[in-house]
Each structure stands twice: as C-alpha cells, then as structure tokens.
Structure 1
Amino acid sequence: MTEPILVVDIGSWALSAAVVLPDRVHPVREPVSGALRWPAASPERLGAALSAIATEARPVARLVLSAPVTSRAAALEASALAGFPDAELVPDAGAAVLDPLTLLEVPEGGFVLVCDLGQTWTVTVAQMQHGRPVSLSQESSGSGRDLDVMLVADLRAQLAQWVEPAFAAGGDVSLRANLHALDVVRRLKHRLADVMEAEEEVEAGVPPYRLDRRRLDQLTEPGARWLVASARAVVARAGLGPSDVVTVLLVGGAARLPGIGPALHSGLGRPVTRPADPELAVLRGAAAWVRSRPARTVPAEPPAWRVEPLTWTVPGGRGRLVRWLVQEGEAYGRDTLLAQVRTADDSVYDLTSGRSEGILLEQRVAAGGLIDSGMVAAHARLEPAGVERFQLAKRHRLRATGDWLLMPDRRTLVECSSDGEYVKVRTIANGALVAELRPGRGTKQKRQAQLALGPGQQLALVTWDAEGHFSVWDVFSGRVTASFSDGHKPDAVLLNEAEWRLVTTGAGAAHVGRYRRDVATVWDLATGARLDRIVGEDLSRRFTGYAEASQADAFAPEMKSPDGRLYAAAADGALSVRDLETEAEVFRAELGAARRVSTAFCHEGRHLLVRGTDDEGTWVDVYEVLQPA
C-alpha cells in the first residue's frame, strides 16, 4: 500500500473517518466542531456526507467503508455518488475483531462473539478463516435507540416545566429540542461508566438533568436481557455452544454502559473484552485491515499454452506429403519425426518438430497433398518455454522482533519474540494464527528464550531469567513440562535437541582454591534434573551437539524444491531461483541491506520462504510458485 486510503465507519447516528498512510493513520475531524465523529446523514444524503469527508481528507486515492450488512447496498451507491465507484466494504464485526486496541489473538478457526452497540445493537458470531474474521450468524435490534428515547422521556419528566413547552411547540422548535435532548442523554450515559452519578446542563436557566447508575441500569435492563438472549441464539444458529466462543467483544458507544459487560459475562460465562474508545473500534479495525491487506493488483496469468503453425522449408520448394507419423491430439517431444515429404526427384525428407514440444492439434494437409516451403501444414499447441515455466508472486511479508523457525515438516512457521514474551505458530499460505503461547504475560522479569524440538518433534520453548531460573513450555498445550534453577547467572545457554538436554555456563562461577573457574551445568529438559556439573575453562567448546539455536530449523542458505525442479539460493545481496531442467533463472530479487538470509520451500513446493534480518528486526517473505496448468 502506497497511496492514501480514506476509511469511513458508517453508523446510525454518526460517521467516523481516517486516512490510512503507509506509516500512520490520520483521523479526519469534523471541521466545525473538531470532533472525531461526523453527524450522520440520512440514506439519501449519505453520498453528500461522504463527499464532504473526502474533501476534508484529500488527497485520497481510494475509499473503504465499514457498514452494517443491511446498509451495504446503500453504502456502495452513496460512495459511487461521492466519486468512488471502486469503494470496498468491510463488515462491522470483522473490522471490530481486527481493532489493534482489543489485543485479541484469535487462533485460526476460533470463534468471537461481537456485540456492536450503537444506535442499532448487533450481535455477530465470527470465525477466523485464513487470518480474516468471517461472520456466521447475526441479529440486530433497535435497543440503542430505545434506550435513548427512554432517557429523553426521563429528562422531560424531571424538567417538564422548563423543557416541555419547546417539545410541545411543534415544527422545527420541537425537532431541535428533541435532537438537543438526545445529545445530552448520550453524553451523560457514557459518563456513568466511570462515576455513580452525573449531571448535564440542558440550557441556561434550566436545572441540570441528573442521572445515576441505578436509574440507568433500570432503563438498560430490557436491552441487556435481549442482548444475552440474542447472543445465545446466534451462537446456537452457528451450531456452537457458549464454551466454543473465545471471548465476547464489546464495541460501539453503548459498550460503555456499566451493566452490559457483567450481564453478558453472567449470561454466557465467557470473558468480555472492551477496548478503549469502543465507539472507534470498528474504524481502527478497518484501518488495520487496509494496512495489512495484500496488493490489489492482479496481473494477467502467463499463457499456459499457445497455438502455433507448423511450417517447413522443403528442399526444392515443394513436395508431396507421404504420411503423418503423429496423429491429431497426440503429444510429441523435441526433434520428434512428425511427417515425411517426397520431393520431385523422389527424395524423401523427414519433417521434425525441431526444438519445440507440444500437441498436434490439426493436420491441414492430407497424405498425398502438396506442401510448399513456408506453407502452414499443421497447427500445434505448444507450452511456453524458458522463464515462463515458473513464475513467483510475493504474497506477504511477516515481521517479528525475535526470530522465525520453519518446522521440519515445512507446514507451519513459528514466530518467537526475543524476550520470550510470546510464541506464535502461523500457516505459510496466509500467515494465519494456528496457536499461541504467552509465557511472559503478567511478569515484569526480563527473560530470554530459545525454541527447540523435543522428543516426538514436539515444539517447546525454553525460557530463563538473569538469576538462572529455567522453564520448559509445551507450545501447543501451554503447559510447563519442567523447571529448574541454576546457582549462577547464565553466561551461555546451549541445547541438545537429540538428547533433550541443556547446558548452562557461568564465567567465574566456581572457586578452586584462591581462583575462580568457569562452571557448566548439564540439565535433563524432560525432568528438570541436574545431570552433571563441570568446572574448567572454555567450557562451551567441550559440548558437541549443543547449539544456541534449534538445529531442526528447515531454513537453509540454499534449497531445492520437493520435486527437484527449482533451486533457490541467497548470495551476493540477491535471491535467485533457477529452473533445474532448463538451467534458466526464473526469478531474482535484490535483498538490499538484509543479513543472514536463508530460504526454504513448503512441503508441497507451492510456496518459497525467504528469511532475513535488517535494522528493524527479522522478516519472512512468502512467495507463491506459479506453474502453467
């Protein structure tokens, strides 16, 4: 993504917008009030509202809208009127799940219950599919509007002698009074998320309108009951139970209502997540979707085959066809004898395919017919040659502050932060999250970590701190399988995956007479038992089979594809991929300032992975290998 993209979240009573740039997201404020929310327009005026936002945000190249499912057609029509016929739509629930402030990490195939509580309350079950949330079941109601109407009625009852004349006046006066009252009660109900009682001045000379949390809970209670019942219904319609849901995500302005979260937690028994500024969660998620999406350019596919004429230069300029030796529909290889021709002096010449191979589609001259030099005697279907046999298309880049490991079966990538804060297992094709371990959550102790493959090729994480406290974690189950403590600060930590042992060395950690000597301790990673303790010098060189990084990593500086047809290597600042059958270079990419570059093919050979390090951290580029059909 290089061009600025305008993202607009279309709500029932307000719009919010932001311009997404390659390096930042810039909110678009309403020019008169400076607010982050723009007043909502009627469906008939939505196009004009989008035009006004685009004018304020310009220059923008494209438009992305987040809108309720029921408003998608109207949103696309309005965007076309605003000059963006190519606008894209992101479902509200999907955008909410992608909001970076929710800190959600939903595994591939996991389910999230999204409650979008604006003027319209919508409950959606979404499933992570190929790294994207997909809506499975949904229900909506007007509970948000109903609550505001009840709050306005409560305001009118409290301040009847001051405000009722305006409401009863009719016409524009009554309309303005109602809109002003709606603004007052909306601000007030959101403030009660932090205080037990609040008040808001309606206008000069009128007592303030007071509202406490008890009264708000009373008015909210019917909507909360509907919300819990609807949540159970949409979960059941998706063929699930509440226990299948990873979390309940609350977004929208009414997510601030103090009674909603506890009601859902009590009614469903699932954790409830509410991000900061929940009314902007959908906008932030849509912006994150824009920044993470792949390029929207689709190049023409290289031709899988082409039809070409077959012509020959016949000695003497003309001959009579003796016979065809390859029939229509039959394949032939290079230098294959296709036909024979007899010249005027009764010499017979063999007509071959030359250096091309293909399928004979049509014979245009029958046996006994005349063939002139340059005359089209047949048509053949040929495969494109040379570099067209394979093409590589870059699909995505994954970044981390730690390191990457490709599992030995070459089916999944493992991302590990340098401080052991997390381990994420991802698919290769789209980077979707398969599993996650966060051993560092809740601790402020600085750690180091190393990935390793234990007995049975089980993925494990070994973590340790500066005091020499070690833990061994099973990544997929999240369990600690062993823990132990050394008596000294670790100077070097080495693992032997074959024997499932760890050795830690400490400089000057042991006393021998008046002298301090280095000490190395060998531990059994399966049980946490100490196996040996050695005192000496330069101890790390004594342990063969031990290493600072996993030896099971499938990345290598050079690699052949599983079918043996391609060869990839990183050297001299460039990635090169060669076709081993034709010895032609089919792909080349400059690597710039990248260091420690290594390559690997996935288990099927459909993707090439390139891992490298630069000043910003480590990365993995994933290329799809395209072949003719």
Structure 2
Amino acid sequence: MHEPVLVVDFGTTSTAAALLVDGQLELLQEPATGRLGWPSSVLVDGEEILVGSLATRRKGVRSANYRSEIKRLLSHNQASVIDGRQYSPGELVTAILATLRREAEAVHGGPVTHAVLTVPAAYRTGDRRNEQMISAGEAAGFTAVELLPEPVAAALSTPSGQPFQPGDLVLAYDFGGGTFDAALVHVGSRDHEVVASSALEDCGGYDIDERVAAHLCALHEDIEKLYNATNRGRLEVMDAAQALKHQLSDRPDGAEEIKSLGVEVLLTREQFDALVGDLVDRTVECCRALLDSSGYAAEHLNGVFIAGGSSRMPLVATALEAAFGSAPRTARDPELAVVRGAAAWASRGESRSCMPLDYVADEEPLRWDFPGGVGTLLDWNVEEGAGFSAGDELARVRLPNGTLVRLRAEHSSVLRARHARPGDRVESGHWLATTERRGFPHWATKQFYVSAKVRLCVATSDGVLFVAVRHQCWAFDMMTGTCLWQNSFAYESRTVQTMEVSDGVVKITYGYKYSSNVESVSLNAATGGRR
C-alpha cells in the first residue's frame, strides 16, 4: 500500500483538493457546503481561524477579521493585522492547509503526511514563495511537501474529446482567480516535458471582479459610497461583481441585487467583454511572447488547452481561436483541471526515483545521480544498522523546484553509516551512506546447527541463498542473514539429489534411500510455497 497523498490547488479565490490513495482519487468536498471548491478565505474568531465557507458566512458581521486573496499577500510578503494580532501570509496559508489535512484524514481514516501543492509558474527556482509554501505545508503537519507548477498540472489533466498524443506540442493556458500561467508542453507517453513557461501575476479572476465593481460604482453613486465606506460594503459590491461574472459565462445577460441598498444591477455580455477585453488580450500576448522566445510559431502547436475558472468566459475561447487558428480544447471541469492533473503527476511518483550509481568494491558507498544535480536531503527512511531490500526507498531529496526524488536501493544490504543529515545540501555523486560489502557478509561466519549435512546450496544474483538438507529447504537473505522461509517438502526418508533456481522457481529432485525412484517438487522462490 502506498502512502496517501493530499493534492492541493491553492488558488487566489478558491482552493481544490484531492486525496490519492493507492491510485484511487477522491476529490475533497467542503463539509459546510458539499462543494468541491473551498473559498481561499480565513476569518479570525478569537483563538480560532475559520477557513473556507465558515469564514465567508461570517464576513458580513466580522468583516474586519476576514481575509481573502491570501495568495496575493504571499506574493507581496504582506502581513495582516487581524483582531489586534499580526499574521504572516504563511500563517494564513498554514491554517487553510491544516483544515484540508484534517478533512483528508477524516476521509482516509488515518494520517496523511504527504502533500503536493501547486504553485504559479512565476514561482521559479529560488523564489522565496516556494520556501514559504513548503514551510506552510510543514507547519500544517505534512512531513513531505512537493511543489508542482500549475500549468504543468493543467497539461496533465484530461481534455474533453480525444486526449493529446505523445509527441504533441501543447500550449497550456491557465487563467485562474489571481494569476495567469502559460506553458509549452511536450506530451509524453507517461510524463510531459515543460519546454518553457510564463506568467502574469496581476491578471486573474479577481482583477476581472474589480473591473466589474468599478463599473457598478460608476453607474450608481450609492454603490460607490457603499464600496468606499466600509470593508463590509466593499465585500458586498465585490460579491455582486463576481456573481455577475459567473452568470455571464453561461448567458448573454446578468442581474444581481445589492441587498443592503435594495438596488438591482444589470450587465450584458457585450458590456462585460468591453470591460475586461484588455485583460484577456494580455493573456494572449503572454502566450505569443512565450512562443516567440521559445522559437516556435502558432503552426507548431498541436493544440491549446485551457483551464482555470476564468477560462470559462466565452471571450477567452474566441480570443484564443483568433490568435492561434483553432478552437482551444477545454478541461472537463476547468476549475478542477489543475488538481486532477497534479493528482495524475503524484500517482507517478515512482518514476521520480533514483537508483544508486556504481559501487566501489571495498566499501559499498551509496551515491545517486538526481535531476539537476543538487538538492536538499529531506529525510532518511532506514536507520543505521538496519537492513533493507532491493528497491526500498532509503531517503528523499527535495530538488530546487520543490519536487521530491526518492533514493532507492539496488541491492539488499545493511546500512552501516549515514553521511548526510536532513536539511543538508547534497549533490549528485556525493557519498551519502555506507552499506555492508556485497558477497558473503558478516553473518556468514556464524555456525548454524542442522541435523544432517547440507546437501546443496544455490546462491542467486539477487542475494538469496537456498539451502537443502534431506527433506527441507531454506532461503536466506545473504546480506542480513534473515531466514526468508523454510519448507519441509517431503518425508524424512527422502534425500535431495538436485536443486535448480530459475525464473522465480526452486526445483528440487529427491529420491529414496533404498529405491531408484526419483520425484520432484517446485517451490516459489519468493515464498517457499508449492507451485
């Protein structure tokens, strides 16, 4: 059973999360509403920080203690003073992630300590915001936190219609609540390669809402006064603007009431497109510049894939088709494309494993070559003096881009010493640990009492020693001396004549002391059970 992984698409206005257990994906519903989108909002209520809809429901009465757009606070590294106390953006992110973790553990029925968090493409290697997200995840109780760029995750989600084919070059267009991200992606049979990416950090659904809110204020003096009077009034106008935006994604006109004023506001799609058209144009120009800087043209693209809640606006598809010559492909659920794609990436974690480099004959150092050549040791999974088997995960290294690489064992052995500590900077080829020498280890000099002479021994290349005595057979791990299994395959009066090990099967022939009859038995080399 693989460890459960919580995948989180932490957005400016909305957050989506999914729990991945043994390849099975379950999208996390917010308990308060049953919805798959959790508002990225908090409200400080005494010693408690309310998250999501619990926060938005109380913002009308405690608006001064309410905060949203936390992702933008993270970008500006701007602390918030709430109810007389200062909160860093990281603390508010931690509150949201901790709430998601508790819900994931309630669904799973056990601990969830591994998280994959998506981040904008603008969070490049070395960006302090990557460290802030990792630190927030660790503060929320996760022991392993990985980061994945949002457009990469979007490209890994399933488009409507036929999937993209290996070798395709796809433009991933991710228009979210607070940022816009674009990436050129080469589609592979399993994993995709990001050729290049770009981002606009001040262009998202929130900016569209502000445009609509400004339009409403310009139309109605009372709305402008409400917007400027108090934080509560501003939130009410912004909520109405967002509601109109959502309506106009599905119909040609929208209507909403500003309840505190008793005023109904109307907006047509034509008016809406005129208000926000330049923002959509900026996203298209960002895509064009990305193609140009990467040495590609529109005709090289096999498709444009759009994701993110803001991509639902009909104007987006129209602008992209005009710019690149074909209708864009959409995710089945644009708001969930990133979290679904990130879950697909997380499910392929085994492909981000490294096997050791070649061994030195005398000392058996463990050295790995991992992508990028440098990283930070996250943890060890094997204690000094403990044995391990071929393929076991011995340690994990976090790469500069936030990805975790699993360092695995090629052979069974015993870990004699570890030469790096969690938090240390490590490089490809560094001697990170020392293991027992291969060949017959220290335990081979011990004496084992058996009631008769050993008739046959066979050692295999994967470090297992098979021993046959009269009517019995044992299998030992040659590195640790552990008895893997024992089987009495015949009566005591019979004796072993030959033993062969091939293709996972131990074939033994035996005969009788006073007879020429010969019989055989086949045992499973891994378990000792009869075949």
Shared fold, TM over 0.5: yes
1:78 Cα deviation after fit: 1.0
Secondary structure, counterpart of 2:98 in structure 1: helix
**Max Rg structure:** 1
CA-to-aligned-CA distance 1:291-311 (integer Å, 9 cap, x gap): 343277778789563479xxx
Partner of 1:167: 227
Of 87, 94, 115, 2:145 maps to 87
Question: TM-score scaled by structure 2?
Answer: 0.55
Of 178, 190, 193, 1:131 maps to 190
Partner of 1:2: 2
Question: TM-score scaled by structure 1?
Answer: 0.47
Question: Structure 1 residues 577, 179: closer, same or farther in 2, change over 3 A?
Answer: farther
- The reply to whether residue 57 of structure 1 matches residue 57 of structure 2 is no
Separation in 2, partners of 1:46, 1:284: 21
- The reply to whether residue 155 of structure 1 matches residue 155 of structure 2 is no
Separation in 2, partners of 1:296, 1:139: 24
Question: Structure 1 residues 189, 303: closer, same or farther in 2, change over 3 A?
Answer: same
Q: Is the contact made by 2:15 and 2:39 (CA closer than 8 Å) also made in structure 1?
A: yes
Partner of 2:328: 272
1:249 Cα deviation after fit: 0.9
- The reply to whether residue 111 of structure 1 matches residue 172 of structure 2 is no
Question: Structure 1 residues 388, 46: closer, same or farther in 2, change over 3 A?
Answer: farther
Q: Is the contact made by 1:303 and 1:384 (CA closer than 8 Å) also made in structure 2?
A: no
Question: Structure 1 residues 296, 137: closer, same or farther in 2, change over 3 A?
Answer: closer
1:154 Cα deviation after fit: 1.3
Q: How does 1:432-471 map to 2 (within 5 A)?
A: none
Q: Is the contact made by 1:111 and 1:128 (CA closer than 8 Å) also made in structure 2?
A: yes
1:228 Cα deviation after fit: 2.1
Task: Tell which deviates more after alignment, 263-272 or 201-210.
Answer: 201-210
Q: Is the contact made by 1:152 and 1:185 (CA closer than 8 Å) also made in structure 2?
A: yes
Question: Structure 1 residues 127, 165: closer, same or farther in 2, change over 3 A?
Answer: same
- The reply to whether residue 220 of structure 1 matches residue 272 of structure 2 is no
1:221 Cα deviation after fit: 1.5
Separation in 2, partners of 1:389, 1:241: 53
The amino acid that maps onto 2:103 is E
- The reply to whether residue 243 of structure 1 matches residue 299 of structure 2 is yes
- The reply to whether residue 120 of structure 1 matches residue 179 of structure 2 is yes
Secondary structure, counterpart of 2:303 in structure 1: strand
Partner of 2:340: 284
Structure 1 vs Structure 2: percent identity of aligned residues?
28
CA-to-aligned-CA distance 1:312-371 (integer Å, 9 cap, x gap): xxxxxxxxxxxxxxxxxxxxxxxxxxxxxxxxxxxxxxxxxxxxxxxxxxxxxxxxxxxx
Partner of 1:47: 94
Q: How many residues align?
A: 330
The amino acid that maps onto 2:216 is L
Question: Structure 1 residues 222, 17: closer, same or farther in 2, change over 3 A?
Answer: same
CA-to-aligned-CA distance 1:440-471 (integer Å, 9 cap, x gap): xxxxxxxxxxxxxxxxxxxxxxxxxxxxxxxx
Q: Is the contact made by 2:9 and 2:338 (CA closer than 8 Å) also made in structure 1?
A: yes
Secondary structure, counterpart of 1:55 in structure 2: helix
The amino acid that maps onto 1:78 is A
Q: Is the contact made by 2:173 and 2:182 (CA closer than 8 Å) also made in structure 1?
A: yes
Larger fraction in helix: 2
Secondary structure, counterpart of 2:194 in structure 1: strand
Q: Tell me, which stretches of 5 or more residues in structure 2 are unaligned? A: 41-69, 75-88, 124-128, 365-436, 441-457, 465-500, 508-521
Q: Tell me, which stretches of 5 or more residues in structure 1 are unaligned? A: 309-381, 393-566, 570-574, 579-584, 593-629
Q: Is the contact made by 2:210 and 2:241 (CA closer than 8 Å) also made in structure 1?
A: no
CA-to-aligned-CA distance 1:43-71 (integer Å, 9 cap, x gap): 32111211121122214231111111324
Partner of 1:461: none
Larger fraction in strand: 1
Partner of 2:60: none
CA-to-aligned-CA distance 1:490-520 (integer Å, 9 cap, x gap): xxxxxxxxxxxxxxxxxxxxxxxxxxxxxxx
Report the RMSD for the aligned CA atoms in angstroms: 3.6
- The reply to whether residue 209 of structure 1 matches residue 269 of structure 2 is no
1:166 Cα deviation after fit: 2.3
Question: Structure 1 residues 307, 216: closer, same or farther in 2, change over 3 A?
Answer: closer
The amino acid that maps onto 1:6 is L
Separation in 2, partners of 1:177, 1:138: 38
Question: Structure 1 residues 22, 383: closer, same or farther in 2, change over 3 A?
Answer: closer
Question: Structure 1 residues 387, 274: closer, same or farther in 2, change over 3 A?
Answer: farther
The amino acid that maps onto 2:214 is A
The amino acid that maps onto 1:14 is S
Partner of 1:234: 290
